[in-house]
Chains A and B, each alone.
Chain A
Amino acid sequence: MVMNYMLSEEEQMMVETARNIAVEKIKPVREHYDEKEEFPWEIVKEFAQADLCGVYIPEEYGGFGKGIMGLVLVVEELCKVDGAIALSLAATALGTLPILLVGNEEQKKRYLPDIASGKKLAAFGLTEASAGSDATGMATTAVKDGDYYVLNGTKCFITNGGDAETYTIFAKTNPSKGARGISCFIVDKGTPGFEFGKKEKKMGIRASSTRELIFKDCKVHKDNLLGKEGHGLMIAQATLDNSRPGVAAQALGIAAGALDEAVDYARKRVQFGQPIASFQGIQHMLADMATEVEAARALLYASARMIDSGTSKRTSKESAMAKLFCSEVAMKVTTNAVQILGGYGYSREYPVEKMMRDAKITTLYEGTSQIQKNEIALNLIKESAAKAK
């Protein structure tokens, strides 16, 4: 049985809908998309049709209005079956959050309904070749020219790159000001001067596209500036506070899926004349895995509820904790699932090797585990210093 997290009727509805899609629509094709590294458009259509694309978007913009918790529940459920296909939706949320958080009314009305309905996907463009963990190292510039900003530079590793229609892009409007010289823009696919570069070949999450975005004298109207000039880094940080639970949910879903596979296999596989599930060595592994998955879920749901309650101005620490813990658990649990399935676990005939490959990304993007720890520690110290005053 699963623990009772007092999900509302509508939250249960989202879980059920996501599960139906995962089991009926995704499971039969997950290997195909992993092998072929194709973008899962047929599944995106299913997400759209079932209203899953807008679960976190307020109802006034055509969404289902269920906040970060809604996003978390849907992503977790989808990722139990496949940790990559759900990214079309989860990375769209990452790309959409800057608009949701700081967009003006006109921008929200212009962009959110099409994203909520699943007509358009979004992407988030922060990382560059020499600006990974340290976003302030970015070289992309946006120079004001009349009513326009002219963008030049190259973003790399952008999820949904090439497949999304709407991009939130970070660029330096005032390079001399460092962290305070970065701004955020909405850039539409098809804007002259905006092209796509190479697509990454990856270890896991192969159904998700990861591309370079290339800006060459790309003119973006000033109406597409998000928030104020120079507020870009703050917007990125606020976005990550809200989006990291989404990565945590991806990690949790993958871990929970791997745990199910491992238990099921252990009951059926017979060695030395008995099911391997009867060996204490296997039982203790399964017990640890199950306990870690449940602890991860409890921490994640608590963080998501805290964000949605809006009671705390910043939730950097809690989001980072959820992401750190869930992603490290995902790595441990999927590795052990492969161990429990033995040689079969290593074979592509069983889903756990893919789960292990997919899980690894969650300790890397939207800040590596080291960066999450930096964030948590920084906030601990700040909180303690504030108390000491």
Chain B
Amino acid sequence: MITAERKPLDEIASCIEPYNRILLVGCNECVTVCAAGGRKEVAMLSSALQMVSMKQGKTLSVVEMTLERQCDPEYVESLALHIDGVDAVVSMACGCGVQEIARRFGQVRVFPAVNTKFMGASERAGVWAERCQGCGDCLLGLTGGICPIARCSKRLMNGPCGGSGDGKCEISGEVDCAWHLIWERMKALGIEDRYEEVISAKDWRPARGGGPRKIIREDLQ
């Protein structure tokens, strides 16, 4: 999933300072799972912003909505009913959701209320970690199911580097060395011989090297 963290309240409040009526839009998918921008967070942010506003001697009216998926035009369309009555939109979805609203409603300013972080997985309650950088040419099959691009600090294709120690990365004792994990996994799978194979420098064209990306499926159009 796409992970996100809510921006500091001050930052959001200062974005909407000139406005009296806002539409606050959450998303029911990724940002709900990582507890950054779902229905619950929408309600909490709404109250917090109204309190800030009250302290400034103003009244802020907030229309709260949480869409099934904010990156989907079909759901974003439902905001059309409310958009005329507000001065600005605050989106609690990831950057994809914010941009979908901006694309659909050209006349109104849209502010992000979360910082979109990475594509990752939940490690345990309250902890999410980066797992994939969407390189467009997945090589997990070569690395035992552990991604060196997202999880090795140096994005080494043939690791580990000299800084790997006790299974941890040299940047921090908190970060696992991806190549240590890859090696352990290869051993467990009985494919250690694969480790000797040199992975050549990556072709970054399918990643962002080729510019902004698009998927076109003729069969679905």
Specify whether A and B are partners.
Answer: no
